Structures are given as structure tokens and as C-alpha cells.
Structure 1
Amino acid sequence: MTRQRRLVDAPWRHAPSQGTMGWNGDFGGSRISWAGFRERIGAWQRRLDKLAPPGQRWLLYHSDPVAFAAALIALWERGDSAVLPADDRPETLDTLSRLATARLGEVTGGLLADVDQAPRWGDLRPDRVAVSLFTSGSTGDPKQLDKSFAQLDAELAAHLALWPLDGRLVISQVSHQHIYGLLFAILRPLCEGAPMATRACRYPETLSAWLQRLDNVSEDDIQAPRSAVLISAPPPLERLPAELDWHPARERLARIHSSGAPLSAAASAHARTVLGIGVSEIYGSSETGGIAWRDQQFNDHWAPLPGIEIRNDAEGRLWLRSPFLADPSAWECQADRIAPVADGFRLLGRSDRIAKVGGKRLSLTGMDRSLETCHGVLQARTLPLATRDNRLGAIVQLAAECIPHDHATRRELIQALRARLLSAFEPTVIPRYWRFVETWPTNAQGKLSAEIVALLFADLQDRRLPRWLGVENNGAQACRVALEVPERLAYCQGHFPGQPVVPGVVTLQWAASLARRHLGLDGSFHRLERVKFPQLLLPGDRVWLSLTWRPDAEGGRLVIDLSGQRGCHASGRMHYVATEIGDAS
């Protein structure tokens, strides 16, 4: 039976010293004990004491789950609170810095050099603000959300009632900077005394390796976990490669959770086939916390979480009363529409997707559904673009065989889609800007976020950019970016009369910029090597840009391949030399 204490009871203080808090999966059974974890809390407090007195708000971002957990608890026990940015991009941190006393981030070394000072314990009152998070909608500025210890404890109790960890290893594929990852990957194992994986498991190859290591744990190692719970999201579950060795998953994987967006029935079935276990999806939001759950091998509708009350109104809107809200007694109206069923509800889409386009009121949901009836369209999302006087942009996911690869086929497709919409909508509201994707573009939480939308339409603001249509990561140092050459690309003007062509040097510039964004490439450009441009790149061409970063002692090489339906357009290597990097904390 799982032991659980509330956050306000500070379970990390009472966990058995030699018990396993963190497990790194290496052969030989190396791990982090609860005693070692408490030393890390003390080390963080020592560092904090040198920076500011207690009672502060800290901007906390750390990619390491154990370091994040230790820093978070060090803040709480000092009487501080944490502001959690969604990422560590400079613009994100600069925007949120006004909300906090100082930043607390990645540590380059030396934190545990002196750990002879035991941690100090404080008073975790239920009404204290524990963390401040931010929404990640597709438009508008993020909204600050304060979560008290009482709210977090109420949700953790509901999770325990449905899915006790029972000492299983918690492996996470999602960011703990968001409410779902924070609750499931950090706070649940802390409260239930279960070990957490010491590194995030972003890629399927890493997940397969972790499960194989679990399968090879010696029976004599009484401190090592025997099974695992996977905290995931739609993107990694949709893209699980069946060719990897997943046999240990059927023995060692006890449960899979997913949140951020609903899984399609096909994706749910795919994950169940590959990993041998159903997916427990959680529906909710940053504002509300969890609302309901489902496993599509049993039901396609949603069942409320324990303690959640649901009803709908005459317009079908969802009304919610929840112990996870600041006022547990109040009914709050949500933007989603629902259809009640005997033991839950079905989601029907959002009720607030009403926009004014060209002076006309328009249901964006209705337009999305019209597009989704067209041949080859798997999913569609229309949205007003503020930078284009709120004229509509359309993001359309197509079956692979329907993807346009040149200007002529793209134009024919747009004409066909416009003709379909004109049967139901006025010409003034038809989308003007189209982005055709093969895989639905989302962030790590499975959301079509404001940042993703900005990337998709960035070329409208800067005519030097290609159309960015999504990225596939192949480990930490390789990716493939889908691109399209805009017909009005600035670099094609005068190059050449009668047949515009993208200059080869422009493709190298794109590669360098995209490698910095998607691979974190750093350093100074040094030289080119074996660069070739076998095929002309023309306006309207759709291509894949493959980028592989190969670090070495001097810096590293960026290997480039830009290919499309007509073959390779560019290839070669760009050499970089390392630059000095200061303390990022």
C-alpha cells in the first residue's frame, strides 16, 4: 500500500534515509538516497542564504528533475515561493523577472562542495502560495496562476485514489515547469515516497533503454525499483517507433499517463500496441488542474476525477466545481462544450472560438470542422492573425499523399479548400494564409502554443525567412525541420529574372539559425566544408532540412542536408569554434 503524506506535512523530512529517492538507471544500481536528497536541499538553502533573506519569490527553472525538486523544497522550507517559467529562453525569463526577486537556474558546478549544513525546516501552511505558473494559450499573453499548498494537496490526493505509485519508478517525458509535469513527475513521488528518474526521458530510444535497465535489475538490489510509471504527452506517444525493443515494457511498465491534449483513438491504440498497456489520459488546464480522465481501450468519454462535480448549461458549456480551485465551493464556467453521458461526458469543442473577421462574426470551430470534411484533411485550426488585421490563418494537417511539394500543387490545393469553404462562408472570412503540415505542430505539452503559431507564420513578418512547418527531433543533437520557400521571399528578387532561385548561401543561413533554435548550437562560425548545391531551390518548394551537430574538442560541425521531392538542394558541413560561457544560474 502506498504511503502518502500531504505537501504541508513535508514528507521529504520523514522518508527513510537509505531509501531510494532518485534512480539513474545505470548498471550497478547507482542512486540518490533520501539522506543525499536532504543534503541537496541544505546545499540549495546555503546558496540562497548568500543571495537574499527568506520571504522572496524566485524565478526557478532547472531541467534536472532532482535538482529542481531540491531547489523547490529549499525555497518552500525557507519561506519563499517559486515562479515557474515554461522555458529558459531569455525573452521568457526577462518577461517574468518583474514577478520575482531573482532567478534561480542551472548550476554549473560546486553546489554540493560543502554540504555539512543540514537543511532548515519551516512552516508549510495550507493557504501559502507554493508556485506561480502561467497559461500557454494559442493567442494572447500568459496569465499568472497562483497555486496554494492546499490546492496542490487536494489534487495529489485525487491522483493517489485512482493511481497509487506503490514504490514504482516515475519516468517523465514532459516538463516539470508546467502543472501536469510538476504534479505527476515531481510532487507525487515526493509525497508517496516513490523514486523518480534522475533525468528526463525525451526520446523513445532513451525510454526503451530505461525499461531494459529495469528489466536487468538484480534481485539482490533491494533498493532498486522493479517497475515504472510513464508520465507522457501526445507527441511522444504518437511517434513511438515500433521497431525498437519494447519487450521489457510489457513486464516493467505498470501505467502510462498523458495530458496536454486529447490523444486520437489511433494514437491511443498505437501506444497500447507498442507498449502493451493502455494510456490514462488526464483532461484539464493550468487554471483548473485536472478535471477528468479516460482510457480509450474502455471508453471514449471522460470520467470526472474524485471530488470533481460537472454539469452543463443550455449552451452546452461545461461548469465545474473542484477542490483544486481557489474557491472549492464556487461553480466556474469553462470554454469547453460537453455532452453528458451516464458516467461522465464527451468533449464537443470550445465555445469561445468566436472571432470578428472583416467585420463579420465567425465561429472558428465551425470553419475548422468544414475544413476537416475535405479530402485528405486530418485536422485543421483557423485563427485570426493580429499582425494581418485579424485576417485568418489556417493550419491544416494533411495525409502524407496530399502534401503539396511545389507552388503549382499548393495553389491548386488552396483553391480547392477555398471552394469548399465558400459553400458555407462569406468570401471575406475565408483564410488568406495557409500552412500545410504532415504532423500536427505542438510543444512538449502537446499544445499548439503561441510560440508554435508565431513560428508557423513568422515569414509574414520577415520576408527573409522560410515557412517553418514543424520539427522532428532525433535525439539531442539531430533534427529534421519541414520548410517551404515563400513565393515572395526577399532573397529571390532579381535572382534571377524570369526564374527566381533561392541563393545557396541563404540556405546555409537558414540552417545556422534553425540549429541554434532547435539544437541549442552555440559558438562562432569558422568555415565551410564540402558544400554542394545539386538542385535549384525554387519559390513554393517544400523541403526537409536535416541538421546534425557533432561536437569536438575545438567546437563542432553542423552537418546539413536540404532535400525535397526533386532531390538534394544543399549539403555540407559548417564548422564552429567554442565560445566562453559564463555561469547560467
Structure 2
Amino acid sequence: MTDNTLLSAPWRHGMPMHSVAWHADTGTAVTLNELHARIAAWQTTLDGLAAPGQRWLLHHRDPFDFAAALIALWERGDSAVLPADDRPETLTALDAQTAGRLGDVADGHLPDHGGAKPRWGSLVAGRVAVSLYTSGSSGEPKRIDKTFAQLDAELATHAELWPLEGRLTISQVSHQHIYGLLFAILRPLCEGAPLAGATCRYPETLANWLMRLADARQGDSQVQAQVPPGAVLISAPPPLEHLPTELDWRAAPSVLARVYSSGAALSQAASEHAYGVLGVAVSEIYGSSETGGIAWRQQQRGECWTPLPGIEVRDDDHGCLWLRSPYLPSPGIWERQADRIALEGDGFRLLGRVDRIIKVGGKRLSLTGMDRALAAHPEVLQARTLALPRHDTRLGAIVQLRAEHLPVDHASRREMIAALRSKLLGAFEPTVIPRYWRFVESWPTNAQGKLSAELMARLFRDLDDRRQPRWLGVERLGDRQCRVTLEVPERLTYLPGHFDSRPVVPGVVMVQWACELAREHLELVGEFQRLERVKFARLLLPGERVTLTLAITPVAQGARLDFSLDGRHGAYASGKALFGHSADEREAVHVE
């Protein structure tokens, strides 16, 4: 395989015993001859299903079989539709657009290893090679067609910047998406380098494969001739962020030539962690399914992104990125993107999105689509999901429920979360399902009638301070009165140790919450003096939902705070707190 363009179909040529895949766990190679046999088997299966020129839904977890099926389609004159996942709702929605399913979702018509030879067809630059689906701004899956010419343009850039030179491609990402398709499947196929025989799903597996590859390189000369000269790792933020330091990574620096990451930007801490563990700087790729690659960076050199060769970028008055790229259907036209940037030297810094498409655990997700899916539940009035950057960009969900369905304790809260998760799992992968839930009876809004960023942050503030209750909204009852809805977090700092037999909220904590929330919502000022008529009627347990009613009355010495904490079982606590004038107030009174 000497020509590394996709249109030259390099898999047709080469030595029959050339290695196209390598199983690191066993040290065995898969040859070009075996790839041809598998392509032929897939074509035989396809011939029995439909005439050429079809669109087929292709999903296969095995990278080698995926590659063989994809080539079989192309050489037959077909194209592939790549679903983002294999969830029933995802596949059913695409069935009407395709001739059938192939791969590990093929409903039983998998090919066997026949003795036929593959038939070679004609690959045309403008022909659609694959169709991918990603989230549009409306939340509906958006189809993106990629021609052979578009894929070839991007593959040529990668080969120029980072030639594989026969190294083994180890992938930790799905090849159902454009990044994994290009880097983990098409690059090794076009550059004549072996791909790993399986997706590397666990860090223990990665460490083991690198060690085995290093050991194989030390074998006799005959064995060494069949062993890849090194490896590249195709990865993403989640696996790189959580590389365990206790594993044996001694082989990584000598075996790995390059580590790639895409899907979301790595934090600087994660980049340094991966570099420290693997001994290789991470090359991050920034782009999208629609645009292909846009820029790259290594954070050890700086935080700015460098446009890929042939890519032109500029900004506008709103700071939005405009792009001109050979990977787009109209390469000469400037197209506006949903990212904000700040140009800096020959590159740029990313400043965030202007729409509601985000990456969660490296998975692209429409928050609008997630909102709509939650709102489809019969007990939900409306919902809003948001990413929480301080918590691994996991999702939080604000869900307004009918009053009769609001959870009132730990058990009913878990039951409601399980019901909503079950509703979402038919259409979304588990890694993107919201982790943090806030159930409200009234939709929280500011004075302008909007759910502001400040309100959303307030709803999840307890995640950053384990001493705080879950705040679920405030209702004004007058200038000096309000009612605050709270839940007791199961991880509240104060729960353990009060009673040996069970976790409960200490009474002094309830009083503290009343005072702090009065300062926040009723602008209570002054120094705490004493408590009066305090009663604790029953135990407040983890997960319980309560209402805290607050009222301030001016008195000669300062202010009196009346508070009561009530829930479905009745009163939990009540009392009065006296506050004296602050030092500034006392000074003002003295001057007068």
C-alpha cells in the first residue's frame, strides 16, 4: 500500500501477508488476505439482501469487521449510515432510510468466512461515502453526509502532519463517529498501518497492550519483523482524565509515538496528568462532525489552538468563529460556527458555545433534545438541563413536576430519578444522562421572568459546599417574609455522628440554615444575639423535602427572625432568633 488516498483504495493492493490488524493480547497479526476474505463474505451477504446502490445502516463494535463491512459497501456501490449508538430508538428512527442493518445489530444476517474473492468497484470523489448523525440545535438528529473527497482531504492533512509509519493504532473511542472513523479506521487503512484488533476499553488493557508490544519488540528478529514498530493512541478526555497511576506504565514512553484526544477540550490538569502517566504530550483535535478537524494543540506548548493546514479562521463582532475549510461541502465559502473565539497570534483561544450543543464525557449532546425528552414524561411540566463544568461537565437537570408527584423523601426521590432515567435510556447513552436532579414545584425565575444563570447556579450550589441544603426555590410572601423549599442532601457534612444509630440533621444546623437564608433572601443584617422558644419536633432525615418559612420583625435592639421548618409529617423545627445592630448600624445610631 503506497498511495495513501482513500480514492486509490489502497486495501486492494499490497502483499497478501501484510498486517492490517494486530491483536496485542495474543501477538498475532491479521493479514491483507484475511481482510479480502472478510470483504468478500460481507459482499456475498449483501448480494443476498439487495441490489447494489443502497444505503445500509452499519454498526459494529469490532474495528476489523467494521472496516471490512465498510469497504464491502463502498466497493459494491453502496454507502454506509453510521448511527451514533445502537440503542433501539436510535436504530428504529433510521431503519426507514436504509436498506437494512449490518454488523452487530444485523438481526441475524452476519456473514461467514466464504472462499469468494472481493469484487472491486469504483470510488468517485463526489459520491457520499458515509452519513453520520449528530445533534442539531433543535435537538433532532442531524444527518451529515461525507463524500470521498471530503474524507480524503482530511486524511491527507493527518498523514502530512502525523504520519503513522507502520505504527499500531490503538483506539479508546467509537469508530461510529467522525473522529474515530478517521483516526482509528481510515488512517491505518490508507497509510498501510495495522489497527488494533479490538477497541481498548479499559486502562488496565491499555497498560497491558503497551507492555506486550514493548516485549514483542525485544523478541527474535523473525518475530520483530511482524510486530508494529510502535503505537499511537486514539483517545478522549474521559479515559485520559482517569488514567490510574498505580498501573505499570513503564512501556508507554518507549512505545507510544503520539496520543490524540478529541470530543471535548482537555482541562490543563487532565492534560498534565495524561502526560505524566504516559510520558507523551496529548495532541488535542478540535472540530465537529459537520466541519471535520479545525485546529489542534498540545497544552505543554500553550492553550491556544493552531488551525490545521488549509483551514482559515476569523471572528466577527460577536466573537463567533467563522471557518473556511476544504473538509466542508463548499470549501470556498465562509461558514459561521457556534463557538466563540479570541484570535491570538497565529491561533485562537476557545471561549465557549453560543448554542446548547455540548460535549458530555466526550459525547456530543443537544441539551434541547434532552429537555424535550424529559418533558415528554407524563408527570413533568417542563425541564432544563445544563452542564456543570466544576463537576466533570456532568449534567444537572431542573425538573418541574406536578405537586402530587414531587418527591418528599429519599425513597420517592430515588424512584422519580429512576423513572426519568428509564425514559431517557431509550434514546441516550448512560454517560450523558443527568447525574444531579433538582425537582421544583414552581419554575424558578428572576425579576425579568427568566431562569437566569445565577438561579441555575444557586440550584446546584450545595454540590460545592456540603454544608448547604439543596435549595429548590423561594416564594416571596412580602417585603419581610418568604418561603424557601429545601431538600436534605444525602451527603450533607453534618449527617454522621449526631446519633450513632441513624444520620439526622442536628437542630443547630437547621437554625444555621434559617439564619443564612434570611440573610440571603430577606437582607437580614446584624449580629446574632440569642435564640428564643426553639423547638425540634421531629427528626429531619436525608432526602426529606421541607419548607422553611422566614419572617423578619424590626425590634428596638435590631431584628427578630421567626422561622419554621415543615414537611409532610408536620413541623420539624420552629423558633425565634434575635439579631442586634451591626457595628456600622450602632455607629450610625450614635452619630444621630
TM-score by length of 2: 0.63
Say if 1:385 and 1:540 are closer, same or farther in 2 by CA, change over 3 A. Answer: farther
The question of 1:33 aligning with 2:58 is answered no
Report the counterpart of residue 7 of structure 2 in structure 1: 8
- 1:323 corresponds in structure 2 to 326
Q: Relative to structure 1, is the Cα distance of residues 313 and 138 closer, same or farther in structure 2, using a 3 angstrom cutoff? A: closer
Measured at CA, do residues 143 and 119 of structure 1 come closer, stay the same or move farther in structure 2, by a change above 3 Å? Answer: same
Distance 1:341 1:117, change over 3 A: same
Deviation (angstroms), 1:3: 4.3
Cα distance in 1 between the residues matched to 2:60 and 2:25: 22
* Cα pair 1:230 1:256 within 8 Å, conserved: yes
2:321/2:339 contact within 8 Å kept: yes
Q: Deviations over 1:336-368 (max 9, x none)?
A: 1111111111111123359xxxxxxxxx9xxxx
Q: Does 1:539 align with 2:543?
A: yes
SS in structure 2 at match of 1:187: helix
The residue number in structure 2 matching 1:159 is 158
**For residue 237 of structure 1, what is the aligned residue in structure 2?**
240
Matching residue's letter, 2:171 = S
> Structure 2, unaligned stretches of length 5 or more?
359-365, 393-407, 414-435, 439-443, 465-488, 492-503, 505-539, 546-592
Q: Percent identity?
A: 56
Q: 1: CA distance between counterparts of 2:462 and 2:34?
A: 47
1:338 alignment partner AA: I
Matches within 5 A, 1:373-522: 385-386=371-372, 387=375, 392-396=384-388, 398=390, 429=452, 430-431=455-456, 434=459
Q: Does 1:103 align with 2:107?
A: no
Q: Tell me if structure 2 keeps the 8 A contact 1:4–1:193.
A: no
Matched, 1:86 2:71: no
| Residue number in structure 2 paired with 1:176 | 175
Aligned residue number for residue 520 of structure 2:
none
8 Å contact kept, 1:391–1:432? no
Q: What displacement does 1:91 show?
A: 1.0
Whole-angstrom CA distance in 2 between matches of 1:344 and 1:184 = 23
| Separation (CA, whole Å) in 1 of partners of 2:24 and 2:109 | 24
Shift of 1:142: 1.1
Aligned runs of 1:351-390 on 2, under 5 Å?
A: 351-352=354-355, 385-386=371-372, 387=375
Contact kept? 2:281, 2:300, Cα under 8 Å: yes
Find the counterpart in structure 2 of residue 288 from structure 1.
Answer: 291
1:338 is matched with 341
1:328–1:427 CA distance, 2 compared to 1 (3 A) = closer
| Counterpart for residue 18 of structure 1 | 17
Partner of 1:479: none
- What SS is found at the alignment partner of 2:303? coil
Residue 307 of structure 1: aligned partner: 310
Q: Give 1:262's match in structure 2, choosing from 260, 265, 272.
A: 265
Name stretches of at least 5 consecutive residues in structure 1 with no aligned partner. 355-363, 365-380, 401-405, 416-420, 440-483, 487-498, 500-535, 542-585
The answer to whether the 8 Å contact 1:394/1:434 transfers is no
Listed one character per residue, the Cα deviations across residues 366-395 of structure 1 (whole Å, up to 9, x for unaligned) are xxxxxxxxxxxxxxx997944266664444
1: distance between equivalents of 2:449 and 2:107? 58
Q: Which amino acid aligns with 1:321?
A: R
User: What amino acid does structure 1 have at the position aligned with 2:182?
Assistant: L
**Residue 61 (structure 2) pairs with residue 63 (structure 1):** yes
Q: What's the CA shift string for 1:230-274, capped at 9, x where partnerless?
A: 000000000000000000001101100000000000000000000
TM-score (norm 1): 0.64
1:551-562 matches, cutoff 5 A:
none
Paired residues of 2:173 and 2:180 also in contact (CA < 8 A): yes
Q: 1:399 to 1:352 in 2, by over 3 A?
A: closer
How far 1:284 moved relative to its partner? 0.4
State the alpha-carbon separation in 1 of the partners of residues 231 and 341 from structure 2.
34
Find the counterpart in structure 2 of residue 45 from structure 1.
43
Distance 1:108 1:213 in 2: 36
SS at match of 2:251: helix
Cα pair distance change 1:399/1:105, threshold 3 Å: closer
Q: Give 3-state SS (helix, strand or coil) of 2:265's partner.
A: coil
Letter in 2 for 1:270: H
Q: What is the CA distance between 1:105 and its match in structure 2?
A: 1.9
User: 2-side partners of 1:152 and 1:304: how far apart?
Assistant: 18
Question: For 1:261 and 1:32, how far apart are their aligned partners in 2?
Answer: 33
Q: Tell me, yes or no, if the aligned pair for 1:395 and 1:436 is still in contact at 8 Å.
A: no
Corresponding position of 1:198: 197
Q: Aligned partners of 2:259 and 2:82: how far apart in 1?
A: 25
Q: Is the 8 A contact 1:43 1:111 kept in 2?
A: no
Deviation at 1:25, TM superposition (A): 1.2
Larger Rg computed on CA atoms: 2
Partner residue of 1:511?
none
CA distance in structure 2 between the aligned counterparts of 1:164 and 1:224, rounded to whole angstroms? 18
Q: Secondary structure at the match of 1:297?
A: coil
User: What residue is the counterpart of 1:273 in the other structure?
Assistant: 276
Name the structure 1 match of 2:556.
none
What's the offset of the Cα at 1:399? 6.9
* Local SS of the residue matching 1:46: helix
Q: Do 1:86 and 1:134's aligned partners in 2 also have CA atoms closer than 8 Å?
A: yes
- Mean alpha-carbon deviation: is it higher for 188-197 or for 387-396? 387-396
Q: How far, CA to CA, are the matches of 1:320 and 1:328 in structure 2?
A: 9
Distance of aligned partners of 1:319 and 1:424 in 2 relative to their CA distance in 1, 3 Å threshold: farther
Between stretches 201-210 and 382-391, larger displacement belongs to 382-391
Contact kept, 8 Å, 2:136 with 2:142, in 1: the verdict is: no
Q: Which amino acid aligns with 1:241?
A: P
Match of 1:467 in 2: none
Q: Name the SS of the counterpart of 1:88 in structure 2.
A: coil
Residues 169 and 393 (structure 1 numbering): CA distance in 2 closer, same or farther, change over 3 Å?
closer
SS of match in other structure, 2:456: coil
In the alignment, residue 77 of structure 2 is paired with which amino acid? G
- Does residue 149 (structure 1) correspond to residue 159 (structure 2)? The answer is no
* Equivalent of residue 253 in structure 2, options 250, 262, 271: 250
What are the within-5 Å matches in structure 2 for residues 123-142 of structure 1? Answer: 123-136=122-135, 140-142=139-141
Paired residues, what number?
Answer: 410
- Give the 3 Å change call, closer, same or farther, for CA 317–86 of structure 1 in structure 2: same
**Alpha-carbon separation, structure 1, partners of 2:447 and 2:267:** 27
- Tell me the distance in 2 between the aligned counterparts of 1:190 and 1:11: 7
Match of 1:77 in 2: 75
- Equivalence for 2:424: none
- Quote the offset at 1:293 in angstroms: 0.3
Q: Secondary structure at the match of 1:150?
A: helix
Shift of the 110–49 alpha-carbon distance from structure 1 to 2, 3 Å rule, reads closer
Provide the C-alpha distance between the structure 2 equivalents of 1:142 and 1:437, rounded to a whole number of angstroms.
Answer: 34
| Per-residue Cα deviation, 1:63-86 (whole angstroms, up to 9, x for no partner) | 000000000000000000000001
CA shift, 1:316, in A, is 1.1
Q: What's the secondary structure of 1:7's corresponding residue?
A: coil
Match of 1:574 in 2: none
**Match of 1:124, as an amino acid?**
L
Supply the RMSD in Å over aligned alpha carbons: 3.6
**Does the 8 Å contact 2:21/2:64 carry over to 1?**
yes
Q: Distance in 1 between matches of 2:459 and 2:121?
A: 55
Q: 1:105 to 1:268 in 2, by over 3 A?
A: same
1:46 is matched by which residue type in structure 2? Answer: T
